[in-house]
A and B are shown apart, each in its own frame.
Chain A
Amino acid sequence: MTGWLRFAPILLLVLIVAAMLWRLANPPDTTVHSQMIGKPVPQFALAAAVPGVQGLSSAQLADGKPKLVHFFASWCVPCIGEAPVLDQLKKQGLTIEGIAIRDRPDELAGFLARNGDPFDRIGSDPESKTQLAFGSSGVPETFVVDGRGVIRLQHIGAIEPNEIAAIRAAVEQAR
């Protein structure tokens, strides 16, 4: 075998081991992030999820004010723990729109009664279509949408109390 070619496999080994070491030091992140950041909100018009609270449409997300769009469900366990945080954000003047995934009106009403209702409107997404259109992959997730209806941030999972400031900052930036 010609000279340098004989050492090529070793070079390959070095590259592979380097890649493996990198991976061992940076474990795979299995959360799926939405690629819709910076893009306009997808068009949708969702019916009311609970009687007495309006449904949600994409047009309402481009009314000049930045908002939070919160994907949740009555069967979502971490959403219960997150409720006080959402209340806080609402008290601090943020507008929170809700999209309920795969939910029934009666169970949703019960959930809101037990955990509080910080939502201005709640759209019903019984087959996750709007969730898919947003690039969301589970509940709870929160999107920051600016006044022109462009998605600016995705927060995956429940918002922790120590993240309230960051969310507020993101909404400020979105003005």
Chain B
Amino acid sequence: MRLVLLAIALVFAAPVLADSDMPPAYWANRQLPNPQQEERAQSLMQEIRCLVCQGESIADSDAELAGDMRDLVRRRIAAGEKPASIRSWLIQRYGNWISFRPPTQPIGLPLWLAPLALLVVGGLLAASRLKRRRSQ
């Protein structure tokens, strides 16, 4: 189902991004020679959203623009840039949407605090039932 929809999405994306017949960028489908760098690049690519797909990361997407973005990520990592800096460069251009890792600043704070809040509330609920028991 998902690839179908992906294919359909790509077809619909055609007016905005049909296929050029240029080959993919050099580092779009090549691994960096340094394994640690490649791993850092891979981790980052898994977290960056493809601009023209339905919810895939640039690591998983076959779209051309995704390939160009992979090339960008690999080049910058190879040049020594930190993944966090590349991510924030992309966020400056496309907004928080492009990162699968939600922000922690005000807008994402409730999200990151939610697990803790749920644990506390749930824990209190559970504990109160235990206590009620013992005091009876």
- Do A138 and B16 contact each other (CB < 8 Å), given the known contacts A104-B22, A128-B68, A132-B72? yes
The number of residues on chain B lying at the interface, defined by a beta carbon within 8 Å of a beta carbon of chain A, is 28
Report which of B15, B22, B92, B95 forms a contact with A78, defined as CB distance below 8 A: B15
A32 at the interface (CB under 8 A from B): yes
Of the listed stretches A11-19, A33-41, A88-96, A162-170, chain B binds A33-41
- Which DSSP category, helix, strand, loop or mixed, fits chain A's interface? loop
The interface residues of chain A lying within 8 Å CB-to-CB of B91 are: 35
A90 and B134 alpha carbons, distance in the complex (Å): 84
The interface residues of chain A lying within 8 Å CB-to-CB of B25 are: 126-128
In the complex, the answer to whether B22 meets A137 with C-beta atoms within 8 Å is no
A33 and B97 alpha carbons, distance in the complex (Å): 10
In the complex, the answer to whether B16 meets A157 with C-beta atoms within 8 Å is yes
A53 at the interface (CB under 8 A from B): no
Report which of B20, B71, B92 forms a contact with A35, defined as CB distance below 8 A: B92
Chain B residue nearest to A33 in the complex (CB): B95
In the complex, the answer to whether B94 meets A35 with C-beta atoms within 8 Å is yes
A22 and B32 alpha carbons, distance in the complex (Å): 45
In the complex, the answer to whether A101 meets B51 with C-beta atoms within 8 Å is no
A76 and B22 alpha carbons, distance in the complex (Å): 13
Q: Shortest Cβ distance from A95 into chain B, in angstroms?
A: 24
In the complex, the answer to whether B18 meets A101 with C-beta atoms within 8 Å is no
Q: Which residues of A contact B (CB under 8 A)?
A: 5, 32-36, 73, 75-78, 101-104, 126-129, 132-135, 137-139, 156-157
